[in-house]
Amino acid sequence: MKAITLKPYYFVLFFLFTISVSYAQTVFDHNGNFVIQQDEEYYPGKIILKTNDTLIGRISLNYRIKENFSALFNDGTNDVKIPNKSIGKIILFDRNNEVTEFESLDNSKQLYRILYSGKVKIYDSSSRPQAGNLVGSVFINENNQVYSLFNFWSSGSKQDLIDYINKRDGENFKRRDFKTNDAIFAYLDK
């Protein structure tokens, strides 16, 4: 019987591969704080603090610093970290001057994008405008109750919303029954 032996350079390559993958997202700021996100874009907008003060400039969202999240605010000269716990709402403008709002959801440390606001409020976990597309986990605030609609086995955020409707209303809708996200939002707001 012939034994299979691995060349020593395979071990070195495996070791280098795991090192580069493990630390690819690790970044430390100038003060030694551990920051996960490093490449979020800045968008023009305004931060409305819980004290009702308003800051206008360029903003980037949800930077994790140790156990807390912050927004980075640039007034044209300096970057300032503003802890999310002191932020009431953030309003961003994309390249087409469309407005996207973000706020804390159920006293979370993170800010969530508001997709729809009516009888129900629908959020997702995006930290950018995204031109109205559903991205990441979707949350719904209905009757002052917040529900996470994330389902690992579903085919996406739109399907998560449809599954919520089907469960809530005893329906059997499919994705094809709703041509747009706005049609889903309108149905949820009945």
* pTM of the model as a whole: 0.73
The span from the CA of 114 to the CA of 105, in Å, is 10
Between residues 1 and 125, the one the model is more confident about = 125
Angle at CA of residue 160, ends 154 and 163, nearest 5° = 95
Confidence of residue 144 (pLDDT cuts 50, 70, 90): confident
Confidence band for 34, pLDDT divided at 50, 70 and 90: very low
Phi/psi-derived region of residue 170, left when phi > 0, alpha when psi is between -120 and 50, beta in every other case: left
CA 122 → CA 2, 81, 113, 125, 145, distances in Å? 62, 27, 9, 11, 12
Q: In whole angstroms, what is the distance from residue 83 CA to residue 172 CA?
A: 43
CA torsion 116-117-120-125 (nearest 10°) is 50
Contact indicator for 36, 27 with CB cutoff of 8 Å: yes
Q: What is the mean pLDDT of residues 137-157?
A: 86
pLDDT at 164: 93
| Of the listed ranges 32-41, 55-64, 172-181, the one predicted with least confidence | 32-41
pLDDT at position 2, please? 60
Domain range annotation of the chain: 42-188
169 has pLDDT over 90: yes
Q: Residue 120's pLDDT is what? A: 92
Are 84 and 94 a contacting pair, CB within 8 Å? no
> pLDDT value at position 6?
56
Residue 130's Cβ-count burial label (10 Å; 0-12, 13-18, 19+) is middle
For residue 40 the two structure tokens come to 């979020």
Confidence category of residue 4, pLDDT binned at 50, 70, 90: low
pLDDT at 27: 44
Tokens representing residue 145 in the block: 């109750």
